[in-house]
Structure formats: C-alpha cells, structure tokens
Structure 1
C-alpha cells in the first residue's frame, strides 16, 4: 500500500511539475543577440578607450561580446565568474567590486581562489523598467585596477549613458544586418577618441565625427598598416590614405573576427606642400598641420641652430612664446636657461633693474648682495622679450649696446659683465609705424629682426581648429580630472565658423570653460557655447515682406526653438551682470536691441 502511495505521490509531483512548466512564462528573448556583431565592435572600441577589459551579457547570462579573456564563447553562458553578473541582473543596479577574493558577494563563487578579476564595475542595460543585460568593465591586473579605482564614478556615468543609448536604439533599429552600422555609428559618437572600423577586407565601414575632425575626411578612407612602434604592445602606427593625402596615426588597434577597430587621438599629415618640398618636422608643442604651420615648422627647424636674433610677429593669443620655446628646444642652447620677460607687464621703473640687474648698494632698498639681471641669468641660453614694442625708449639704447658688445652693465656697477645670449623677441604691433613716430629705435629693430617668423592667426590656419580642440580637450580634462567629452557636429561647425579674435588663447580658454560646465557623460553641444557663438541668431530681423509667406510646421518649430535659445542667452547674460552695455557687447547686439528684446520676452531688466 505504501509503495502504491509513493507511486501516486510521484505521479502527482510529476503532473504538478508539468503544469508549472506550462503555466510559467517563456524565457524572454534576448534583445541584444540580434545585434551581437555591433555590440562586439563597440566592446572592442570601449576597451581601447578606457584601457580595461569589457564583457557584455544579456538577461539570460549569454555572453554577447567581450575582450581579452572574455573574447570567446559568444552565445553561451560563461563557465565561471557569473556571480557578480547575476547580482546586477537581479537588482537592476550597478555593482562595484575592488576586492574580488574577499568581498561577501564573491564568497559563494567556486572559482574565487583562481579568479583573475581584480576589479569589477557592472552597469545594467535598462529599458522600460526591464533589464536587458549587463555591460561590465573588468580589471585583470594591478594597473587596470588602479585605473578603475581612480575613475569609478566617471566610468559608471559613462557606461550608464552608453547603456541607455543602446537600449533606446534597440527599439528604433530593426533586427536586421543593415541596421548594425547606424547603431554602431550612434555608439561610436559617444566615445572621446577618433574611431575607424574596417571590415576583414580593410574597407572602412565606420568613421566617427572625431576621426573626421582629425583627418578632415569622409568614409572613403583606405586603412593600411605602416609599421609597429614601441611599447605598449597594442600601440601601433598606421597609415591612412585619403586620395593623394596620407596621414600617420598612432593609437590602439584590436583585431576581431569581423575586422579591425582603431581608436586614436593623434593624426599627422605626411602631405608635402609642393614638388620637392621637405616634410614638416615633428614639433610636439606646435599643434597644427595647416599649410602655414607646416611652413613655419620647416623654417624653425632650419634657423634653430643659428645664433642670430629672431623676431616673432603675430596677433595676440597666437602662441608666440610657444614658438620661442620651440626654437630654444631645437637649438644647441636647449640645455641652458630660457628666460622670458613681458616688457608690457613690468613697470618702467622696475624693468631696467630686472633686465640688467644692479650692484651692491646701488640704491636705497637694494638687496645687500646686489641682483643679477635676467640677461645675466640667460647667459648661455635664450632671452625671450615678449611685447618688445612696449619697451621704454630709454632702455632700448641699453639693450642695443648689450646686443652689440655682448656685455651688460648692472646699475651702479663699474665693470661690465660679459654675456652670451640669443635674443628672441615678439610683438603684435607694427614696429615700422613706431619707428616712424619715433617711439622705437630703427637700429634696435634691425638688430632684433634678423630672422622674422610670422605666426598666422587661427582663422587662417585651415583645419587646425580640430587638432587644437582635441589637444585642449585632453589637456584641460586631465587638469580638471574629468572624462574627456565629445563634441557635437553642430558645435564643431560653429567653432569652425568663428573668427577667433583671441586666436589660440581664446580657444584654450573656451575649452577649459566647457570642460567645467558640460555634464559628465554628455557631449559638448552648441547650446553650451557662449553667447558670442550665437550672435547670428540675435541679429536684427529682416524687413517684413509685403506678402506674408506661409510657414511650414518645421520652420515654425525652428523659429520657436531659436527664440527660446535667444531668451535663455539673454537671461544668463543678465544674471552675470546688470550692465546693459556689457551684456549687449557680450551678445554681439546693440543696446537698443537689447532693451527691445528684454521687453519682448518680459525679462527683468
């Protein structure tokens, strides 16, 4: 009887299990697997940019993409190390681990002792309150762990932004092969490096905006390997050919089954300016590859070893001191002092003692032991006299004598001091006009202007905006300690169209400002640019036409958007200052126009 009851119980349990199977909801289909190739491309790109390993799984723990030790077994549940991935899926929240072998979450893992993961950051891919999968960043060595620790918050925000973009695009793009490129293109625009993706035949299938910024090119590139250089092992130099122009780019490359992904932050043109022209030398401090800058670099390389005086001419903010330092570094004096002095920044009564120094007891209040002048300090090296046009006429004669005699007479001294210096001067003024009005000595001018170097304004350096923009984004993001943001195509167009009256200095200041105000994980959009870049939108409206024109819905919406931007710009300017003239100048409009617009938008003036 007992055996019959057991048989009946077993039958009931079996039937109950079958019923449960029938009533249970079917497994949710993977939303990520249909675009696996796209996600794998992006995982490879992400690993290059963040210098970490990447693993992507779906909501069934099937590995969708990965790099390094996670770059295989796609479409399968990983054989080990799934505890943390399950935690992210179940909670739908980020998980951060820096002590993988000791952390409480890892205690139940059977591979804990042999685990290679030093650090883990997992971010869920959420869409309509449903977790579609996990994007994880993994540190597998001490260097990567340190990198992950230092930038955890930025990485989480960054991956969170990427995952939301990925989830949103899943509902837009159809599940077919032709939809891969648009989705990958959208993802590639979010990273802060230039990106080129090639298929197995070497054909470019994707190039993001940043790569176009550096190369000034479109998707008709041909990528070919040039040579492998230096360390680390993944650093390589490639050659990119655009028509007849070639570029040498240095970055990180990953080979996949589908092709090649290249992420880079620097591109150097190998184009010559004409038949038989020599290639421009590499001067890292001089950012730019326009024709004018290539000519300047070649000239600097030729004259650097000469002892002759150099005069750098150019508008304010063009980087004249950068050029002076480049000349010094390329000269035989590179291991000696480079002494810079701004003749316009030091009061006239102090400039003489600063330049020539003074002897012991030369005047009341003098240092007990006297003081060496800057000319003496520059002995054996280079003296850079910036804004030489503002040097007082009384000192010009003493400087001329020092140049001709190769010696200086400190104030109060009776014996001259021999000096060996090379003088580089700079000015944004027209010294020939100063010579005519008698404020600058003609003989000194010809002594200083032995080798003139003309530094072009930024508006005449075609194509250099993108290179300088990248340089300053990297520089200021590193200083502030933020992840380098991208730049939207519209913002880039506005930067290219700007006249840059403040030249390179203005661009550097603008980028530093943008780095501080752009939300982390976002890109620099045109709305973040200062009002001067929107001045064309704030100009006076054209005269009203006799016959009104019927507006389309699109035109009406665009006008409403521009009015909203205009109102916001004026409000922000009024918050910074109540000086109407200053606000009008900042916005690039007249004071009367400003008052009219304040009244139009009902703003508190």
Structure 2
C-alpha cells in the first residue's frame, strides 16, 4: 500500500513538474514574442504583458500584472472583447501618439469566455506602409523576373501573335483556346513551318501554368545517346563527362509548367518507352539516380509526320501515341488559307522594318498576286524568308515589287498576265461560264431549276452550255 501511494505521489510530482516546464516554456515564448502581446481575464485585468509591449509602453511587467487594461493601455478595447466575445481584427488604435494596427481575440474554455488576447502587428501605420511597400516592390521585381525569364526562353507569344483571318485558322485558334484551360496533353499536327511552336507558346500562355516558363526540346536536334540525359537529367558521376553537381532534366525544369516536345516522331523507340513511364507514373528519375521525383507536367507535342501510319509500321509506340493524342490540333498549311497571305505579309513587313532598320510600306499588287499563286511548301516560315530576302535586295524602295521576289515564285505570274490581257467581253464570258457551272452543280444538273435560278429561258441555257462547252 505504501509503495502504491509512493508511486502515485511520484507520478503526480512528475506531472506537475512537466506542467511547470510547459508553463515556463509558453511564458518564455510569449515574453520574447516579436510583436506586442497582452492577455487579460474576463474582467479585463492584465494576466500577461510581454517584453515588446512593456518596452513600448515604458512600464514594468511586475507592476502592471493584475491591473485593469484601461489603466495601462491607452484607448484599449481588450475588456470589451473579453466581455462581448466578438473578435476585432486589424483595428487602428492610437497609443502614445502612434496609430497602431491591433488584433483582439476572445479566449474560450468549455464554451465560456475566460479572457482575451491582443497583439499589435504594426507599431504604427508608417510601419504598415513600410511592409506594404516592401511587398509591392518584391511583387514588381518578381513579375519583372518572370517576364525576363519568359523572354529569355522565347515564351512571350500569345494567340494574338498568330496572324490570320481565314475561317480555317480561326477554328484552330478557337479550339486551342478551349483546350488551353485543361490539363490534358495536346498533340499539334501540321507541316513544317505552319507555326506549331507558336501554338504551343500560345496554349501555355493561356493556361493556368503561365507563371512558369515553357520548357522546349527538339527531339530531332539532339543525338539519341544524349536525349535521355536532356529529358530526365543525371546525378554526379553518372557517366564520363557528367557535370560535377549533376544536372536536372527538362521534365524537372517543367514541373508545374508545360514541356513542348517538338518533332516527337523522331524520338527513338527506347526513349518512347521511358517517356511513357514518366507520363504514367508522373515521376522522373535521373540517370544514375536511386530515387524518383514526383512532377506535375503538361505535355504539348508536335510533329509533321503521320503518327498513325508510324504506329501501323511499328515505328511509334501505340500506347504512347494515345497518351499524347488526348487532344489533337491540326494546323492548316498556308496553301489552304491563301486569303491570310496579305495580312501575314503586312505583319512580317512591319516586324522586319523594325529589325532591319529599313522602312517598307507594302507589297505591290503584282507581287502579291504572285505570292497568292504560289503553293508554299514551306508555309509561313518560307513566306517570311521570301520577304526577308526582298528586304536584303531592295535599295531605297518603300514597296516590295515583282523583281524583288525569287524566280521560282514570279514564274507563276503568267496566269495573272493572261487574265490582265483579256478583253472585257472575254472576262464577262468567263464569269458567266463559271456561274452557270456553279448553278448546275448546286441543282445536280437540273436544267429547268438552273434556268429559273439564273433568270433565263431553258433554250438560252442550252445555248450557253453548248457555247462554253460545259459538261453536265
């Protein structure tokens, strides 16, 4: 019995000792708290006034403990909060000639108010303004850093940068804007020079990942034996020639952002398998590493190849194709939207005039007709090269003329010359012939309907069909 009582006594003593240690720790924390702090009981009498508040008020802690808060703190409302239980956040309080920002919060125990705690976050409004100014300056510096980083990485293009007014390009831009808001992978399809990279930038910059730079890699431009280290990085000493501190891969750099895999059709099959694992597991492991890192990366891939055909021929993994082809966007070639050539040309002239310090106002009608007749196998990139070439061979002219274009484009001008040399009657006959052909096609060869639509007799229609040798 004695031993049992002794054990209870020792246990109680140990518990009290622990409570005293905890109490001293809490007191020490409050006493040395950076901000001014006061604690009052439910009557408004001061229980705790920490060093920061004592120093500011010019009082001694031992002298103020037990006093009513109104006797010690000017314009205080601590006793009111302790009575009403309504917290007050961000209240302006005038103390000793200073406007202070104070928080007052009631303290509850078992559902009843037992007091209140108050803190002074800023000793005066000037102190608050200093913090606000500092944060504002930091935000501006951060925004500037992001903008400069995006410029350095060439990621400053938006949908406004994609020039064109044709229906085909508008549809593609509308679809791209819609998918930009999602997290799904995107596959951009199109011939070389159609602007796949421009669309990748625009999609990224219209997404929620815009605060982070777009990470780009051209799968065709990197030798196969280096592609893995570029994509996934490596640890120190992973192979001969590895950097001392190792190197993060493009996927690590693209965490929380977007990675643009250009020329994805050129990726070797063994790398396709590793890429598939990264997409499935959402983690990446460096060469020579023993741990994996979780990543959140959106993939925008691009190719000018027929991936479906490559899948059939076992040159591209089917499972990877379906992982990448969640949303596919086909960018039309320039020859299918020739109505965009004038507006694209104007934009290029404006850009090159600034870059090359050579003012050019426009393109002559004859030169523009040639540009419209050409098939543009190199698409917009080829058009840019042709206009840049014109800038280089021009003297002081302010307009791009026919002679400033390469021969392989101007040789198609013969058709245009033939049209200009036709008589007015020939031109009108051609127009009449085309309208009759269109109307016959619309009525599926029904001559009675065609004659009625055109407002002529059926006999006149037969004569014109025979005159123009129209096949029905």
Q: What is the TM-score with the length of structure 2 in the denominator?
A: 0.54
1:296 aligns with 2:166: no
1:458 aligns with 2:334: yes
Q: Deviations over 1:557-601 (max 9, x none)?
A: xxxxxxxxxxxxxxxxxxxxxxxxxxxxxxxxxxxxxxxxxxxxx
In structure 1, list runs of 5 or more residues that go unmatched: 1-281, 540-553, 556-605
1:524 aligns with 2:403: no
Structure 2 distance, partners of 1:360, 1:331, is 35
Structure 2 distance, partners of 1:537, 1:492, is 10
Q: 1:504 to 1:346 in 2, by over 3 A?
A: same
The 8 Å contact of residues 485 and 521 in structure 1, kept in 2 or not, is answered as no
* Structure of greater relative contact order (alpha carbons < 8 Å, 6+ residues apart): 2
Given candidates 298, 323, 326, the residue that maps to 1:422 is 298
Alignment RMSD (CA, Å): 1.7
SS of the counterpart of 2:305? coil
Given candidates 164, 188, 200, the residue that maps to 1:324 is 200
SS of the counterpart of 1:452? strand
Structure 1 distance, partners of 2:359, 2:229, is 46
Count of residues paired in the alignment: 260
Q: What's the counterpart of residue 433 of structure 1?
A: 309
Give the drift of 1:317: 0.5
Structure 2 distance, partners of 1:397, 1:310, is 19
Structure 1 distance, partners of 2:372, 2:344, is 12
Given candidates 294, 310, 324, the residue that maps to 1:448 is 324
Q: What's the counterpart of residue 374 of structure 2?
A: 498
Q: What's the counterpart of residue 65 of structure 1?
A: none
Q: What's the counterpart of residue 146 of structure 2?
A: none
Give the drift of 1:522: 3.5
SS of the counterpart of 2:287? coil
Give the drift of 1:521: 3.6
Q: What's the counterpart of residue 508 of structure 1?
A: 384
Structure 2 distance, partners of 1:512, 1:537, is 20
In structure 2, list runs of 5 or more residues that go unmatched: 1-157, 416-420, 423-472
SS of the counterpart of 2:260? strand
Taking the TM superposition and a 5 Å limit, the aligned residue runs for 1:545-556 are: none
Given candidates 177, 182, 186, the residue that maps to 1:310 is 186
Q: What's the counterpart of residue 391 of structure 1?
A: 267
Give the drift of 1:534: 2.7
Q: What's the counterpart of residue 242 of structure 2?
A: 366
Give the drift of 1:305: 1.0
Taking the TM superposition and a 5 Å limit, the aligned residue runs for 1:107-506 are: 283-506=159-382
The 8 Å contact of residues 370 and 412 in structure 2, kept in 1 or not, is answered as no
SS of the counterpart of 2:160? coil
Q: Deviations over 1:411-440 (max 9, x none)?
A: 000000111110000001001111111111
Give the drift of 1:536: 4.0
Taking the TM superposition and a 5 Å limit, the aligned residue runs for 1:2-13 are: none
Q: 1:498 to 1:537 in 2, by over 3 A?
A: closer
SS of the counterpart of 2:351? helix
Structure 1 distance, partners of 2:383, 2:187, is 24
Structure 1 distance, partners of 2:335, 2:180, is 27
Give the drift of 1:537: 7.0
Structure 2 distance, partners of 1:514, 1:475, is 14
Structure 1 distance, partners of 2:219, 2:270, is 13
SS of the counterpart of 1:463? helix
Q: 1:537 to 1:309 in 2, by over 3 A?
A: closer
Q: Deviations over 1:237-293 (max 9, x none)?
A: xxxxxxxxxxxxxxxxxxxxxxxxxxxxxxxxxxxxxxxxxxxxx921110010011
Taking the TM superposition and a 5 Å limit, the aligned residue runs for 1:39-50 are: none
Greater share of residues in helix: 2
Give the drift of 1:538: 9.4
The 8 Å contact of residues 337 and 380 in structure 1, kept in 2 or not, is answered as no
SS of the counterpart of 1:432? helix
Structure 1 distance, partners of 2:161, 2:398, is 29
Structure 1 distance, partners of 2:342, 2:242, is 51
Structure 2 distance, partners of 1:472, 1:286, is 12
Structure 1 distance, partners of 2:179, 2:412, is 44
SS of the counterpart of 1:284? helix
SS of the counterpart of 2:395? coil
Structure 2 distance, partners of 1:420, 1:337, is 14
Structure 2 distance, partners of 1:513, 1:522, is 15
SS of the counterpart of 1:512? helix
The 8 Å contact of residues 263 and 301 in structure 2, kept in 1 or not, is answered as yes
Q: What's the counterpart of residue 109 of structure 2?
A: none
Give the drift of 1:301: 1.5
